[in-house]
């Protein structure tokens, strides 16, 4: 996208939330340290308010003022989104929206 090259995507209408901003991870770690938890646990983290893959790519193109074009490939690939209910309920994880995470990532890297 930085080089205004075409972007190939699959499953353009699939909902995506597989992103987390580093600030959200840090906030959760600080919360866990303050609680002085002494357990082993696996926690799935992801953004809230899923977005379509095509909308995410369009957002990135727009925010970076790229000339990239989207090429939708017909090949069906497996896609998935994350469910972070456990982290939200048990550890008070408060994720940002997918759109906000993407915009912050762009702003952090341009």
**52-109 pLDDT per residue, tens:** 999 999 999 999 999 999 999 987 777 788 999 999 999 889 999 999 999 999 999 8
> What are the backbone dihedrals phi and psi of residue 7, each rounded to the nearest 5 degrees, phi first?
-115, 120
8 pLDDT tier (thresholds 50, 70, 90): very high
DSSP code for 10: S
Task: Report the predicted TM-score, pTM, of the whole model to 2 decimal places.
Answer: 0.85
> What are the backbone dihedrals phi and psi of residue 77, each rounded to the nearest 5 degrees, phi first?
-125, 160
Closest among 109, 20, 105, 103 to 63, alpha carbons compared: 103
Positions of E strands within 1-109: 7-9, 15-16, 51-52, 70-72
At 63 the pLDDT is 95
């Amino acid at each position: 996208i930085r080089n205004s090259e075409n972007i190939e995507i699959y499953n353009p209408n699939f909902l995506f939330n597989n992103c987390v901003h580093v600030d959200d991870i840090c906030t959760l770690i600080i919360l866990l340290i303050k609680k002085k938890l002494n357990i082993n646990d696996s926690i799935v983290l992801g953004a809230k308010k899923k977005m379509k893959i095509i909308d995410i790519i369009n957002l990135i193109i727009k925010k970076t003022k790229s000339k990239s074009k989207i090429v939708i490939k017909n090949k069906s690939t497996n896609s998935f989104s994350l469910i972070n209910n456990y982290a939200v309920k048990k550890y008070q994880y408060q994720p940002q929206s997918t759109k906000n995470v993407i915009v912050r990532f762009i702003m952090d890297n341009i």
